[in-house]
């Protein structure tokens, strides 16, 4: 039975490819801007590709680690999530409050149902070790709930009711530092042994990393909530320290063993450079240094973070997980190639340079989105090949079963 989440992930990646091409053409003034596409561009990637991937893969991963049988697909959760996404896609461009609230509520319910499902998956006595990533996933999903709540109310004045000073930043921080960071950390921890063939450098560091990330994300959410650096600064230090510690866990074995080095591994690790970029300039924004393009950064940095970090992490991780689902007999392999690696980083560089050189911003941003567009092509092609061969294998298998039954 094919996992329907993965087909939807593929669909949204294809939409993300078109979204980047469209942004490039808009910057070059070859296409008119279309209201709502800015939202779609980011959320095709965050909600459409990565959240959808998380919903598809987490129950399978956590059950496998806990020594439980592979869970049946939960159609109720799949339908709730995808109806919610579709309603948001319809409701966001005209900013229709009823549709946005309905879509946000459905995605919220789907996340709660997934949390309940994962929460019930406790390790059996027979399982050698339960999923270390499980607590990261559950905490990440709790942050997603907060991110959805604030995101759904962004254009409806809920921020004032919740006494939030800067709602958009609370939304981005809950989703990026809370949900995505914790999800990615959990996936790295759970999957590293399979694609690297060995454990992380210091397995005992996982619990302190978990608590540092959890607390760091909370402080990073409270920072814009109360507009106070008393929360943001320690939050940033805690979160970054935990992230660097996790990455060192991944990198240290590569120093000793050349065979572990691959383009996919480079995608995974260097994606995190795009988290550092906004962090490095944050002090200059906070200090309001004259002539420093603070507004330009606030408007464009989220896109660089999503394409440079979230999407690029996906370049390596999504093909790995697709192979695991569609071609379980092939050896684990991260996705990506040198072309996707260089193009995605050049895209980030052009976007950031465009923020600083205002006169040439449209051209530089046109090039940035163009580079992101071409960087996605090999990944989309790799995924398409995996899906195609998986589907034809399963059709062959079904046909063989039908023939065997009719022969009985
Ligand atoms: C039901 C779920 C969600 C809803 C209703 C929602 C809603 C919104 C809205 C209304 C905006 C403002 C767009 C604008 O000002 O142009 C926004 C921006 C943003 N959201 Fe979400 N969102 C959701 C989930 C997520 C998730 C899961 C992530 C990331 C993991 C995310 C990341 C972002 C980012 C990075 C931006 C800033 C985009 C930019 O400035 O270009 N959102 N979201």
pLDDT digits (tens, 9 = 90+) for 209-263: 999 999 999 999 999 999 999 999 999 999 999 999 999 999 998 887 777 788 9
**Which atom of ligand 1 is nearest to 41's Cα?**
41
**Measuring CA to CA, how many Å separate 22 from each of 73, 89, 326, 367?**
35, 17, 31, 12
Taking the centre of ligand 1 as the mean of its atom positions, its distance from the CA of residue 145, in whole angstroms, is 13
Domain borders along the chain are: 132-256
pLDDT-based confidence at residue 285 (cuts at 50, 70, 90)? confident
Closest to 18 (Cα-Cα) out of 47, 40, 51: 40
pLDDT at site 119? 93
Gap between the Cα atoms of 328 and 323, Å rounded: 6
Kindly tell me if the per-residue pLDDT of 289 is higher than 80.
no
In sequence order, which ranges of 28-165 are alpha helices (DSSP H)?
A: 37-43, 52-65, 75-91, 97-120, 134-152, 158-161
pTM: 0.92
Kindly tell me if the per-residue pLDDT of 174 is higher than 80.
yes
Kindly tell me if the per-residue pLDDT of 403 is higher than 90.
no
Kindly tell me if the per-residue pLDDT of 204 is higher than 90.
yes
Residue closest by Cα to atom 9 of ligand 1 = 151
In sequence order, which ranges of 162-293 are alpha helices (DSSP H)?
A: 167-173, 181-196, 206-226, 229-256, 263-270, 273-286
List ligand 1's pocket residues with C-beta within 6 A.
38-39, 42-43, 46-47, 51, 88, 104, 107, 144, 147-148, 151-152, 154-155, 168, 171-172, 175-176, 179-180, 302-303, 306
Kindly tell me if the per-residue pLDDT of 31 is higher than 80.
no
Averaged confidence pLDDT in the chain:
89
**Higher-confidence residue: 115 or 129?**
115
Residue closest by Cα to atom 43 of ligand 1 = 151
């Amino acid at each position: 039975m094919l996992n329907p989440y993965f087909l939807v992930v593929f669909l949204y990646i294809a939409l993300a490819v078109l979204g980047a091409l469209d942004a490039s053409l808009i910057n070059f003034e070859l296409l008119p801007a279309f209201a709502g596409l800015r939202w779609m561009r980011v959320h095709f990637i965050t909600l459409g590709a990565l959240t959808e991937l998380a919903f598809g893969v987490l129950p399978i991963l956590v059950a496998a680690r806990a020594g439980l049988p592979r869970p049946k697909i939960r159609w109720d959760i799949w339908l709730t999530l995808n109806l919610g996404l579709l309603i948001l896609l319809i409701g966001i461009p005209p900013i229709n409050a009823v549709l946005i609230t309905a879509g946000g509520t459905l995605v919220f319910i789907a996340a709660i149902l997934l949390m309940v499902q994962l929460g019930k998956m406790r390790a059996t006595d027979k399982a050698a070790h339960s999923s270390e990533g499980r607590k990261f996933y559950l905490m990440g999903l709790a942050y997603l709930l907060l991110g959805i709540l604030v995101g759904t109310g962004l254009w409806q004045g809920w921020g004032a009711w919740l006494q939030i000073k800067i709602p958009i930043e609370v939304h981005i921080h809950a989703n990026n530092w809370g949900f995505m960071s914790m999800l990615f950390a959990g996936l790295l921890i759970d999957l590293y042994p399979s694609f690297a063939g060995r454990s992380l450098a210091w397995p005992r560091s996982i619990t302190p990393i978990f608590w540092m990330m959890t607390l760091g994300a909370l402080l990073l959410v409270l920072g814009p909530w109360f507009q106070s650096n008393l929360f943001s600064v320690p939050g940033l230090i805690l979160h970054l320290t935990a992230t660097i510690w996790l990455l060192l866990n991944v990198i240290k074995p590569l120093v000793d063993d050349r065979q572990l080095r691959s383009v996919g591994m480079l995608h995974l690790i260097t994606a995190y450079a795009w988290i550092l970029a906004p962090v490095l300039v944050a002090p200059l924004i906070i200090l309001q240094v004259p002539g420093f393009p603070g507004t330009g950064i606030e408007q464009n940095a989220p896109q660089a973070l999503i394409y440079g970090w979230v999407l690029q992490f996906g370049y390596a991780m999504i093909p790995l997980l697709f192979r695991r689902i569609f071609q379980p007999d092939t050896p684990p392999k991260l996705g990506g190639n040198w072309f996707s690696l260089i193009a995605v980083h050049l895209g980030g560089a052009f976007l950031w340079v465009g923020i600083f050189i205002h006169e040439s911003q449209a051209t530089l941003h046109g090039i940035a989105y163009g580079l992101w567009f071409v960087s996605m092509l090999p990944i989309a092609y790799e995924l398409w090949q995996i899906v195609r061969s998986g589907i034809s294998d399963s059709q062959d298998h079904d046909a063989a079963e039908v023939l065997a039954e009719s022969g009985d």
